[in-house]
Amino acid sequence: MSTAGAPHVHSVVDESPDTCWLGCVVPKRHARRAVTRNLIKRQMRSAMMRRQTTLAPGLWLLRLKSPFASADFPSAASGALRQSAREEIDRLLERASR
């Protein structure tokens, strides 16, 4: 494998974008079912869209750090889980926007 002849790229990787770019990480060990992982990612993207004007432009990464208690949310896509995720993400982004 060779990189000879590859086009030369002039853009700098360290330059931040003018807008907010979002990365979402929801590990399978914290949310076993794909339905739950997708619900949490949708809530992350939605919260980011609502707060985009108050956050500094740049690269943002939201990661689920610990699992939700499955005893509290028996359904993988329950309204209670959706509300809990939304409130927690909003609190986190509120702190980040200060």
Q: What is the pLDDT of residues 9-55, one digit of tens each?
A: 555 555 667 888 899 999 999 988 898 899 999 999 999 999 888 88
Is 71 within 8 Å of 29 (Cβ atoms)?
no
Domain ranges of the chain: 20-65+77-96
Dihedrals phi, psi of 19, to nearest 5 degrees: -125, 180
Q: What is the pLDDT of residues 67-88, one digit of tens each?
A: 877 778 878 778 888 898 899 9
* pTM (predicted TM-score): 0.76
Give the Cβ contact number of residue 87 at 10 Å.
12
Task: Say which residue, 88 or 97, is predicted with more confidence.
Answer: 88
pLDDT surpasses 60 at 3:
no
Dihedrals phi, psi of 62, to nearest 5 degrees: -110, 130
